[in-house]
């Protein structure tokens, strides 16, 4: 066959992928061709626009290195990561909802003891985080591994400003006790922009969007026999809750900070200053639980 035109070319390409190696490769290839072709039919890009698109994707690739993944950021800011999360993490009723992992997770955060201060000595409003890890039936999950990380009071993660902040500040790994609880001290995080000095930032500006995420604390929780939970707890009242650039906010993950006044007779210096408390009970899904569809 030859002489394809706007009406015949899509079927011709679909015919070409019919003998794909597996049914799944065929399904994915067919959907890709159908959706790409209908995008082009709808948008009718000029040659210059098509070249701009190719250049944008090329620069997105060139911006990636061991520390930066611009394609994942593109997926995040176009809502694809949260769509994928919704598809793959339908939770049984009661299980804590999930969000994106984000680029600031570090695999090798040090294990700390419950009650430790993980602020790295940074300035900020003292924050006590009290958490527990339970099953959907409310039973404690002892020995769960809880990775936590968050931004400082200026909206920076340690990995973004190692010289100023230092390694492993505002990040640590905890283990839940026999009652499923964990707690630690840190400082109150601030909202922060996603990296926007590359192609994704250029896209956000062109789309008239801001690059901000609301203030939050990240959690990654694992325990044998349970699905790993990747989530955040957002601080109630944050101005970006309704316009999170990566569409990650869910009502069930927003918590009010409780302000505790200074208590002069306490020995603990952090408590003497007065502090905020953030409390959240995380509910894990057993690998054998059936997801909601
Ligand atoms: C984060 O909150 O760590 C994050 C998530 C997605 C994109 C950029 C940052």
Give pLDDT tens digits for 215-227: 999 999 999 999 9
Question: What is the 3 state secondary structure string of 89-141?
Answer: CCCCCCCCCCCCCCCCCCCCCCECCCCCECCCCCCCCEEEEEEEEEECCCCEC
Distance 105 CA to ligand 1 centre (A): 9
Report pLDDT for 293: 47
> Where residue 246 falls among pLDDT bands split at 50, 70, 90?
very high
* 203, 204, 246, 248, best to mutate for ligand 1 pocket (most atoms within 8 Å of CB): 246
In this structure, the residue with its CA closest to atom 7 of ligand 1 is 102
* Pairing status of strand 171-175 against strand 145-150: antiparallel
Which residues have C-beta atoms less than 6 Å from ligand 1?
A: 73, 76, 100, 102-104, 194, 213, 246
Q: Which atom of ligand 1 is nearest to the CA of 157?
A: 3
How large is the C-alpha radius of gyration of the chain?
23
Q: What is the mean pLDDT of the chain?
A: 93
Among protein residues, the one with the nearest Cα to ligand 1's atom 5 is 102
pTM above 0.85, yes or no: yes
Range 207-215 average pLDDT: 98
Which residue spans of the chain are classified as CATH 2.60.130.10? 73-284
Q: Tens digits of per-residue pLDDT, 10-65?
A: 999 999 999 999 999 999 999 999 999 999 999 999 999 999 999 999 999 999 99
Q: Which CATH number fits domain 73-284: 2.60.130.10, 1.10.1660.10, 3.40.50.300, 3.90.1150.10?
A: 2.60.130.10
Q: What local confidence, expressed as pLDDT, does residue 289 receive? A: 76
SS3 246: coil
What is the Å distance from ligand 1's center to 261 Cα? 32
291 has a pLDDT exceeding 80: no
User: What spacing in Å lies between the alpha carbon of 245 and ligand 1's midpoint?
Assistant: 9
What is the CA angle 76-188-246, rounded to 5?
10
**d(CA 120, ligand 1 centre) in Å:** 21
- What atom of ligand 1 comes closest to residue 232's alpha carbon? 2
3-state secondary structure of 258: strand
Q: Say how far apart CA 79 and CA 205 lie, in whole Å.
A: 16
- Which residue's CA lies nearest to atom 6 of ligand 1? 102
- Label residue 235 exposed, middle or buried (CB < 10 Å: 0-12, 13-18, 19+): buried
The pLDDT assigned to 292 comes to 59
Q: Which atom of ligand 1 is nearest to the CA of 195?
A: 8
| Of the candidates 128, 147, 96, the residue with the CA atom closest to the CA atom of residue 279 | 128
């Amino acid at each position: 066959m030859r002489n394809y035109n706007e009406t015949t070319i899509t079927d011709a390409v679909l015919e070409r992928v019919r003998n794909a190696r597996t049914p799944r490769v065929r399904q994915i290839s067919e959907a890709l061709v159908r959706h790409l072709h209908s995008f082009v039919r709808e948008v009718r890009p000029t040659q210059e626009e098509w070249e701009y698109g190719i250049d944008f994707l090329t620069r997105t690739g060139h911006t990636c290195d061991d520390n930066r993944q611009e394609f994942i950021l593109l997926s995040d800011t176009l809502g694809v990561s949260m769509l994928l999360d919704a598809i793959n993490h339908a939770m049984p009723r009661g299980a804590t909802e999930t969000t994106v992992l984000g680029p600031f997770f570090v695999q090798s955060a040090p294990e700390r003891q419950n009650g430790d201060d993980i602020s790295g000595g940074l300035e900020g409003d003292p924050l006590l985080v009290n958490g527990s890890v339970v099953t959907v039936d409310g039973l404690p999950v002892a020995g769960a591994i809880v990775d936590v990380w968050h931004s400082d009071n200026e909206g920076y993660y340690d990995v973004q400003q190692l010289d100023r902040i230092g390694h492993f500040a505002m990040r640590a790994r905890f283990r839940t006790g026999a009652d499923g609880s964990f707690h630690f001290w840190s400082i109150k995080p601030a909202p922060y922009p996603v990296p926007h000095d590359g192609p994704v930032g250029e896209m956000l500006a062109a789309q008239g969007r801001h690059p901000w995420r609301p203030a939050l604390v990240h959690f990654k929780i694992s325990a044998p026999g349970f699905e790993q939970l990747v989530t955040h707890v957002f601080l109630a009242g944050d101005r970006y809750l309704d316009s999170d650039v990566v569409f990650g906010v869910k009502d069930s993950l927003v918590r009010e900070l409780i302000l505790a006044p200074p208590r002069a007779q306490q020995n603990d210096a952090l408590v003497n200053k007065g502090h905020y408390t953030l409390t959240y009970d995380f509910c894990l899904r057993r690998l054998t639980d059936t997801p909601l569809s």
